[in-house]
Amino acid sequence: MLSRPTFIVWLLSTILVVAVIGVKYAGINIPVVSDIAGKATFEVLLLAYLLLWAGTVFKGI
């Protein structure tokens, strides 16, 4: 049975997605994120999704 992710997991996932979209499409410069997201946008978005998925599938995360 699936469970609701904790607020922290949801927040981290959302922050990652918003940061990557901001860097990639809005041209925002975030020191650490800009370096990573500029080269590996798909991988960072996949990481955010996997974090959210793990929070849903595994209880207590």
The 3-class SS string of 8-50 reads HHHHHHHHHHHHHHHHHHCCCCCHHHHHHHHHCHHHHHHHHHH
Task: Give me the tens of pLDDT residue by residue for the chain, a chain 61 residues long.
Answer: 888 888 998 999 998 888 888 888 888 888 877 788 778 888 888 988 999 999 889 887 6
Q: Which domain holds residue 19?
A: 7-57
Q: Look at residue 2 and tell me if it is in a domain.
A: no
Cα–Cα–Cα angle for 15, 21, 25, rounded to 5 degrees = 155
Q: How confident is the model at residue 50, as a pLDDT?
A: 92
Structural domain tally of the chain?
A: 1
Residue 15 lies in a domain: yes
Cβ atoms of 30 and 43 closer than 8 Å: no
